[in-house]
Chain A
Amino acid sequence: MIALLTGMLSTAVLAGGVLALAALGEVLAERVGVTNLGVEGLMSLGAVIAIITVVATPNPWLGLLAATMAGAAGGMVFAFATVIVRANQVLCGLAITFLGLGLSASIGHDYAGVPSPATFGRVPVPGLSSLPIIGPAFFGQNLPIYLIYLLLPALAHWVMFHTRHGLAMRAVGENPAAADAAGLPVTALRFWYVTLGAGLAGAAGGYLTLTYVPVWSEGLVAGRGWIALALVIFAGYRPFGATLSGLLFGLITALSFVGQARNWPIAPAFLNMLPYLGTIAFIIVPVVVWHRMRRIMAAPAALGVPYHRDVR
């Protein structure tokens, strides 16, 4: 039982890390008022670029860096279309998803089934990692896990809610016209935060193939990008909310693994549906049950609306 719980929690932290990273990226983009529906494609691109990089140079950090750059490059293309040209965000997001999925499958064709030659190894924290149950899960993981669960969300939270720059960033997402009138660079803020968010989506894809599923195959991302998008809503557009909801969904994923390992009398297909059904339940139930949630978890007011200075 202890071994089972330990294993489950370890899987949850790993699986949740992928979602948490992608969701954190999307929080950044949506806080400046841009919905990037391309997360799924950007993650796919990051996943394949990470594998290709570590096949060439067996260094997982280089792989993660390359995945981040690939995501950011895709994000710049998206940001050019949606922030500078101000084209429809839903369309461009879907287009980036199609492009990312198609491109990654095309360039990853020769790498399908090749196991990642280098992955992030476990780096146990002395002492803490031998704690029962939570030790191996939280202190016996690879290094990027601390980046994902602590450093990045803490940094994003501090910048977003405790600095002048963060105020500017949120203002651009709430009321770009007012922000513009106050002299804030609306276009630049939107462009760079969308790019940064997309970079994190690419990194999430790279993290997926460098730790959790260390082999490339088409359709590998399997909707994790879309789950991450839903988590942003569930997280109330907050960095630590994204991290925690990522962990929660990691737990649901781990539950389906446990079910398969222990031969629960449920077909694996149904256990595999759990993360998707869970996500749907988690974005519907809170709004239905508790109406105040709508205000607490409200989206940035200008989310999805392109900003034209000359049109009111």
Chain B
Amino acid sequence: MAGSLQRQPTVTPARRLAWRAGAVVTALAITTLFLALSGRDPRLLADLVVRSTVGSRFGLEDLALFLTPLLLTGAAVTVTGRIGVWNIGAEGQFYAGAIGATAIGLFLPGPAWLVLPLMAASGIACGMGWILVPALARAYAGVNEIITTLLLNFVAGLLTTYLAVGPWHDRVTGALASTGRLPVRIPEIWGVVHWGFPIALVIVLALAWLTTRTRWGYQITIGGANEQAARYAGIPVRARILGVMLLSGGLAALAGVFEVAGTVHRLQGGLANNFGYFGIVVAVLARGSCLNVLPAALLMAFILNAGIVLQTQQLTGSAVLAITGLVLFMIAIADELAHYQPVTVRPATVAPVTVGKEARP
């Protein structure tokens, strides 16, 4: 078996990055092929995409607006991932946050400096409340959190539409399926980009510090790596799972608060725009590191922004979802393939006694 492929237990970061870059390029190549086959000029589209994302001021502003919620939902899914839990319900917590913020914004009159923090607090509390039952069930009864968090997304979507069409419906302008315009808004700092963007950046950096440099973060990492060992070492794993999931719910909810108070200014059905689901993709790209959420969210924001351009070219918005799925699929495969390396086995005299199971650097 000289020169055969062997699965290595660990992968160097550079090697993984190379495989992933290959995966993204492959996914984009397949997409281009599909576009070309459906009679569109890929070069023209690529040109359009570049000009309307990084190639113009409006494009950059849009990119920052996409980036804001993605940073937070991406971080939300990343922190739970560190303790071995999947929060697939960021979409629902996003809605819960938007609902909590809107409730304050619509019905509590007052100066912006007072109302905005209250909106954020209310939104975060709602997001935490939204994940509370799945978090308790996961931490104390071992109930699969993937399904419970996900199913609540549909409930949150129904609740949002109900509020926007029903009791909170805009009676002034008669806008369809939306609440009235919120009286306060997060101030802008650059074009349409509001303060939510730098705040989200700071939060992600703070989380990076919290998860890698503190005792709490260390307990989370150990709890995620080996629950039994962590418990034996005296780490309250269940309490940590509960805490991390609540934090995650709060982060996703804050994304909803920023979206409704900074970008859209009204609560309406479809507000979350799949940001919760795309947060999962960001977290997968980031591989558990909060610092990596920054470039991962940037890539995702770029894909979403490009999707807007594709929609002007008679492609449905769902094409973006398919492209994202393809990218995710290719990355999952690449992550596994990166483990395989060609090895040259030494002569059989030493082969039987090799301790081949050891982790190699």
Chain A residues near B (Cβ < 8 Å)? 37, 41, 81, 85-88, 90-92, 94-106, 109, 218, 222-223, 226-227, 229-230, 233, 267, 269-270, 272-273, 276-277, 279-280, 283-284, 287-288, 294, 308, 310-312
List the B side residues contacting A218 at CB < 8 Å.
316, 318
Task: Report yes or no: B143 in contact with A98, Cβ–Cβ below 8 A.
Answer: no
List the A side residues contacting B7 at CB < 8 Å.
308, 310-311
**When chains A and B are docked, how far (Å) is the Cα of A233 from the Cα of B141?**
14
Task: Report yes or no: B328 in contact with A287, Cβ–Cβ below 8 A.
Answer: no
Task: Report yes or no: B143 in contact with A88, Cβ–Cβ below 8 A.
Answer: no
Task: Report yes or no: A226 in contact with B150, Cβ–Cβ below 8 A.
Answer: yes
**Could you list some 8 contacts between A and B, CB below 8 A?**
A41-B325, A99-B325, A99-B326, A226-B150, A267-B162, A279-B151, A280-B133, A280-B152
Most buried by A among B142, B323, B328: B328
Task: Report yes or no: A276 in contact with B318, Cβ–Cβ below 8 A.
Answer: no
List the B side residues contacting A269 at CB < 8 Å.
158-159, 161-162, 166
* Interface membership of B324, Cβ < 8 A: yes
Name A287's closest neighbour in chain B (CB-CB): B141
**When chains A and B are docked, how far (Å) is the Cα of A276 from the Cα of B157?**
12
B111 to chain A, nearest CB (A): 34
Task: Report yes or no: A87 in contact with B336, Cβ–Cβ below 8 A.
Answer: yes
Known: A102-B324, A106-B318, A267-B162. A283 touches B147 (CB 8 A): yes
Task: Report yes or no: A98 in contact with B321, Cβ–Cβ below 8 A.
Answer: yes
Task: Report yes or no: B154 in contact with A106, Cβ–Cβ below 8 A.
Answer: no
Name B144's closest neighbour in chain A (CB-CB): A233
List the B side residues contacting A99 at CB < 8 Å.
321-322, 325-326, 329
B31 to chain A, nearest CB (A): 11
* Interface membership of B335, Cβ < 8 A: yes
Instruction: Select one of A41, A95, A106, A226 contacting B151, CB under 8 A.
Output: A226
List the A side residues contacting B150 at CB < 8 Å.
223, 226
Interface 0/1 of B294-321, CB less than 8 Å to A: 0000000000000000000001101111
A189 to chain B, nearest CB (A): 20
**When chains A and B are docked, how far (Å) is the Cα of A288 from the Cα of B143?**
9
* Interface membership of B148, Cβ < 8 A: yes
